[in-house]
Homo-oligomer: A and B are copies of this chain.
Amino acid sequence: MSESAAGAPGGRDAPYHVHEIPEFTLECGATLRPARVAYQTYGTLNADKSNAIVYPTWYSGRHWENEWLIGPGMALDPERWFIIVPNMLGNGLSSSPSNTPPPWDRARFPRINVRDNVESQYRLVTEVFGIETLPLVLGWSMGAGQTYQWAVSHPEMVQRILPFCGSPRTAPHNKVFLDSVGAALRADGAFAGGWYSPDALPVTGLRAAARVYAGWGFSQAFYWDEVWRELGFSSLEDFAVGFWEGFFLDGRDPNNLLTMLDTWWTGDVGATPGAGSTEEALASIRAKALVMPGEKDLYFPPEDERWAVSHMPNAELRVIPGVWGHFAGGGANPVDTAFIDAGVAELLASEPGG
């Protein structure tokens, strides 16, 4: 537990926890010995273990970058709920190319898929805390993908899900976008097939990847209206460098980014063993679902989530309005944060599915 005196989350510098799984066999066949699942918690698990919420991280995100949706007076109030934020495998805190010793280090780190992540989190939740029921799983972007996978892999356990700005299956256009990020990163010769020195990162490639991402993360209207001014930037270039290049240079390792890119690319609840198809996997979800895409999200467009909801037995589509695009779900502006928070509150107050 890392909390300030006021109950606010602890931020980047707060101590966090690591659950070690001595032998963790991935779907690709490789085994991490051990797998490390870094996580943070907020609030206190109650006596009957009925108040736990799982809130996985997103592409390159770390647990403290989920904290904007957690706090006193918010739906995810640590006074009421026990919120677990597990870090994705590959994000640099949980087992990743950057922190795994040879021979499975760096460019040799094995492939991770969404189900591997959910399995690692299931092990954490059950082995460390003995939790059998989750009133809610939620997440942004790749966190939404993990949320869907939780509901498909553990229908008996997950009562509600709130995936926002994400999808149960990575759409083809989204894959094209992801490939472009990877191609920009790898175009830098300093990447050297992933065998760069940690002291000499391929920063040109990282910056190019950041510039590619810049066009996708926010909507055309966001840029037309110069809404980046609300984030304190002084010009388009100031935003492109200050926000985007800064984002990719902020402790983000290229091999880690590519591991998570691959996790994202292959995401599909329909590939769950025994699921049959994406549609059948969606139909098998017992959790009550509130699905919240961003109105102008360019890589998780609302029509894709409309399709997903049409295959789910107990789901509502609620589009986050406005121009922030994918970052409607990134906690970057108070209007969208309030909209999502209201959705979380409403869902938590409703009858569970299942």
Show the binding face of A for B, using Cβ within 8 Å: 171-177, 179-180, 183-184, 186-190, 204-205, 207-208, 211-212, 214-216, 218-224, 226, 236, 240, 298-299, 301, 303-304
Contacts and interface: CB of A to CB of B under 8 A. Distances in A.
Contacts of A222: 173
B173 A224 contact: yes
A172 B303 contact: no
A236 B304 contact: no
B188 A236 contact: no
A349 B170 CA distance: 47
A249 B147 CA distance: 41
Nearest to A219: B173
A223 B303 CA distance: 13
B184 A208 contact: yes
Given A187-B184, A187-B208, A188-B188, A176 B301 contact: no
B183 A220 contact: no
Q: Which of A176, A186, A222, A304 has the most CB of B within 10 A?
A: A176
Contacts of A219: 173
Contacts of A218: 173
B298 A236 contact: no
A225 to B, nearest CB: 9
B172 A223 contact: yes
A304 B220 contact: yes
Given A301-B220, A304-B224, A184 B173 contact: no
Contact of A236 (B172, B186, B187, B205): B172
Contacts of A174: 220
Contacts of A208: 180, 183-184, 186-187, 208
Given A220-B304, A236-B172, A207 B183 contact: yes
A183 B171 contact: no
Q: Which of A174, A215, A218 has the most CB of B within 10 A?
A: A215
Contacts of A205: 187
A240 B179 contact: yes
A215 B303 contact: no
A175 B299 CA distance: 19
Contacts of A221: 303
